């Protein structure tokens, strides 16, 4: 990366060409992922060629993320996006619900026997419903009311001031586990609900979660994110020690989540300030330290370019995979810190990360982004040639162009008003 101050004197985000590039890349992603729509309802994961994977059925997390992404696109004036968001809302309101026990299933019940209830999943049902509500998608407001009620009664723990993780079928047994990932996306959801529903108490919940996970646990460990806890919130450092590559709950610390948390903390700071609320001094300090720690641990620690997926508690790589979402979150965080501080350090990383994504992940031959690469930057044989995720990449083209507050859906709705 160049250290030339003159070259950085004008930020990319101040140039019309960069805004045009971001908009064009976002539109290309939206067009590619339209192919994930199932005629039978909901959305399914795509293969690398843009076709639905053989035997795939409606997936609740993907469908929730599609409601969110195409809801955002509808508010920007993308033809056809509202219909796709409504398609997602219909599936979340019917096909993917657990009509027997309440809540939402992980996938089309005809395709899975898993009837557990997962907090992470419900957060994406709610995020999709919140964004679609802001976009005026039919059925979204009712769905949002219903899923928020489930989250408040089943997953938010007032005594713990955090989100619990999962229940067995029929809500019979609460897991003796607490997760950093689901609580991180809980913060994302809290920010959305505070603005879409104009309910500022969600900001109090977001701050409580951040204080526990980051200020109390990550900060004393050199800002490595603690992902796994026992039910009493004692640290579970050996969880999935044999699975450093696990897609959602891997062993060790995940630098990509460090970037994601740091950005969400800047959004929380801005949201509190916008409502005239007191902002604790540690919030920005911890966010900035978290960004730097994620760079320290994540970027090329094995000598190969790019961000590794996971590291152990000494900061050594555990999983050397290069995942697209990690890089998307890193650049979104760099853009957020650039907005917040104006410092050239963040401009350099913002440019460097986009350059790396452009040459490594964007698939100009087939469309979309490569999503799971190994340390040689080849398609990861353990994952295969897949492109199931629009959400991270698309948000990376949006977030740098928007203010840190209000929340994303409201900011998009206000963008041209």
Each residue's pLDDT expressed in tens, for the chain with a length of 417 residues: 545 555 677 899 999 999 999 999 999 999 999 999 999 999 999 999 999 999 999 999 999 999 999 999 999 999 999 999 999 999 999 999 999 999 999 999 999 999 999 999 999 999 999 999 999 999 999 999 999 999 999 999 999 999 999 999 999 999 999 999 999 999 999 999 999 999 999 999 999 999 999 999 999 999 999 999 999 999 999 999 999 989 889 999 999 999 999 999 999 999 999 999 999 999 999 999 999 999 999 999 999 999 999 999 999 999 999 999 999 999 999 999 999 999 999 999 999 999 999 999 999 999 999 999 999 999 998 899 999 999 999 999 999 999 999 999 999 999 865
Give backbone dihedrals phi and psi of 75, rounded to 5 degrees, phi first: -70, -20
Q: Is 386 exposed, middle or buried (0-12, 13-18, 19+ CB in 10 A)?
A: middle
209 and 137 share one domain: no
User: Is 31 within the bounds of a domain?
Assistant: no
CATH of the domain at 266: 1.50.10.10
User: Is 10 within the bounds of a domain?
Assistant: no
- pLDDT value at residue 416: 64
User: Is 65 within the bounds of a domain?
Assistant: yes
User: Is 1 within the bounds of a domain?
Assistant: no
392 assigned to active site: yes
Closest alpha carbon to 130 in 65, 182, 79? 65
Could you tell me which residues come within 8 angstroms of residue 358 by beta carbon, excluding any fewer than 6 positions away? Answer: none
188 and 58 share one domain: no
**Active-site pick, 257, 267, 324, 375:** 257
- pLDDT value at residue 5: 55
User: Is 186 within the bounds of a domain?
Assistant: yes
* Host domain of residue 120: 36-170
User: Is 359 within the bounds of a domain?
Assistant: yes
Q: Phi-psi bin for 161: left (phi > 0), alpha (psi -120 to 50), beta?
A: left
* Number of structural domains in the chain: 2
147 and 268 share one domain: no
277 and 159 share one domain: no
238 and 277 share one domain: yes
Find the Cα–Cα–Cα–Cα dihedral 259, 262, 263, 269, rounded to 10°. Answer: 180
Tokens linked to 11: 């930020």
Of 120, 140, 170, the one marking the end of a domain is 170
Of 127, 151, 170, the one marking the end of a domain is 170
Find the Cα–Cα–Cα–Cα dihedral 353, 121, 39, 361, rounded to 10°. Answer: 10
pTM over 0.95: yes
- DSSP code for 225: P
Of 170, 202, 226, the one marking the end of a domain is 170
């Amino acid at each position: 990366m160049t250290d030339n101050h003159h070259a950085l004197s004008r930020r990319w985000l101040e140039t019309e060409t960069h805004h045009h590039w971001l908009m064009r890349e976002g539109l290309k992603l939206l067009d590619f992922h339209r192919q994930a729509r199932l005629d039978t309802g909901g959305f399914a994961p795509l293969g690398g060629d843009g076709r639905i994977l053989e035997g795939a059925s409606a997936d609740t997390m993907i469908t929730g993320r599609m409601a969110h992404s195409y809801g955002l696109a509808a508010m920007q004036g993308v033809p056809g996006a509202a219909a796709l968001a409504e398609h997602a809302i219909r599936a979340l309101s019917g096909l993917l619900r657990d009509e027997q026990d309440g809540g939402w299933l992980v996938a089309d019940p005809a395709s899975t026997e898993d009837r557990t209830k997962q907090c992470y999943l419900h957060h994406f049902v709610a995020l999709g419903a919140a964004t679609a509500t802001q976009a005026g998608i039919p059925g979204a407001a009712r769905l949002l009311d219903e899923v928020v009620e489930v989250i408040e009664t089943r997953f938010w723990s007032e005594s713990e001031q955090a989100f619990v993780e999962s229940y067995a079928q029929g809500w019979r047994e609460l897991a003796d586990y607490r997760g950093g990932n689901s609580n991180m996306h809980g913060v994302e959801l809290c920010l959305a609900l505070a603005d879409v529903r104009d309910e500022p108490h969600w900001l109090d919940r977001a701050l409580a979660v951040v204080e526990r996970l980051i200020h109390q646990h990550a900060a004393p460990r050199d800002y490595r994110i603690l992902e796994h806890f026992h039910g009493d919130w004692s640290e579970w450092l050996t969880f999935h020690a044999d699975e450093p590559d696990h897609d959602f709950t891997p062993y060790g610390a995940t630098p990509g989540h460090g970037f994601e948390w740091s950005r969400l903390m800047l959004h929380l700071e801005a949201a509190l300030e916008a409502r005239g609320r007191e902002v604790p001094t540690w919030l920005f300090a911890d966010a900035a330290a978290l960004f730097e720690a994620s760079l320290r641990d994540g970027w090329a620690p094995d000598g190969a370019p790019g961000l590794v997926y996971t590291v152990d508690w000494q900061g050594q790589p555990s999983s050397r995979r290069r995942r697209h979402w990690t890089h998307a979150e890193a650049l979104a965080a760099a853009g957020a810190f650039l907005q917040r501080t104006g410092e050239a350090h963040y401009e350099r990383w913002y440019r460097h990360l986009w350059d790396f994504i452009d040459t490594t992940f964007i698939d100009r031959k087939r469309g979309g982004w490569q999503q799971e690469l190994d340390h040689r930057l080849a398609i990861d044989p353990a994952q295969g040639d897949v492109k199931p995720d629009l959400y991270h990449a698309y948000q990376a083209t949006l977030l740098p162009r928007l203010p840190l507050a209000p929340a994303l859906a409201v900011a998009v709705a206000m963008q041209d008003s």
